[in-house]
Chain A
Amino acid sequence: MRSRHRRITAAALAAVAVLGLPACSTVLGEQESLADATSLTVGVKTDQPGLGLEDENGDITGFDVDVALYIADRLGVSAEDVEFTGVTSANREQKLIEGDVDMVVATYSITPARKTQVTFGGPYYVAKQDVLVRAEDSGIRGVHDLEGLRVCQGEGSNSAARITEGLGISVRKTEAPSYSACIEDLREGRVDAVSTDNLILAGFLAEDPSSFHLVDEPFTDEKYGVGLPRGDIRGCEAVNDAISRMYQSGRAGELLDTWFGEAELKLVKSVPQFEGCV
């Protein structure tokens, strides 16, 4: 008799355990989210003036850095608990996937293909591809005037293809190791134009306003997103909320003026259309 009761009890407990388990694991296995972070490691670019540039002391400054600090603050992480580390266009995904960084704010364009690997908050700004020329070349007023001219793109970039394939304008594409190198080539007359996102160009322009001229005839939309580990929906929504507030409070406008105000550029100071977290 005793053993019979034991069997019933054991069966009952087993039933509870088995039935409760799948639901239980959703609680116990709740995903780690940026929304709960107490400190953050943020990946930023280190070679783009105005966006993310490392100085000789190893400090990184720029619009992306300030945006990251604002977001961190809204998430309840104070500036001293935010660590910045350099990422490149080539290793951003990998660093995020491997957990080396918690968040990437590095002129990171949201694309459908990237969304299969990364969850994007934002965009926090919609940059547009534009053209930078030497100050004296005032004849170049739009991308169509580049026909037959030498246009430099940074290694691994796709910007020239957007002109040749996207718009069907035949330019002579040259490639340099980075956009900084492209800018040098432009200054020295080895190329006629550099084409990439207007914020990047505006950053270079701000460093040397007398040498260059921004055409300001944008032709594509580049949605700069905040890269998060894939699936962190709660974190993504918290980031979007922070970005909304950054624009509503006027902080975004101030930051844009601080970093790009010098360039002759139409800055959009209202919140961009978000991509959605799922």
Chain B
Amino acid sequence: MILRYIILFLLALTSAFTEVYVSQDILNNVAKKYNKFAENRFVNMEHKLEGLKDKTTIIKLNTVNTFFNEVSYKSDMENYNISDYWATPWEFLARDAGDCEDYVIAKYFALKYLGIDPKQMYFTYVKSTQFKEAHMVLTYFETPTSEPLVLDNNNHFVLPASKRVDLTPVYNFNGDVLSASAKKANQKTTQKWDELILNIKKGKI
């Protein structure tokens, strides 16, 4: 208990001087809306991400992948009572549940916070031959032509794509890349992506 308060104090102190992933407001709101466990998960995530800032990309990828894979899988219908919904990282972690898109989103924004160039990451629509269903993973590209590393909620290891024979790639999507192109014409990106960005900005939990 004492340790928790110390961490919270240190977090608050550091947040006053450095940019944090989770703002104090979000933390307060999570505590209010959900429970102490949820708040702890956020504190824990912030602590973990702070510790990764100076680490190598591969450590960042592995740690983030492992951390978020701890969250339980739950379909959008069960979770939000709608067939398809892209949850913000805060909703995902606060509820401690989500579907494959929610893992991808949480990992993407965490890695982006840790300094990974968004252009190197893609939301990849894949077909899972194991589960015989549509699935989404986060892929990381060292270079545009290099073999990507796959961050999958069904697999705790970050593996090269060639090792993931159980997955068939269908389509790559990167909202930030599209946004950069759309911004020039003052246009939107895609409905899902725009809605997600808006919810993140609003701090939707």
Do these two chains interact? no
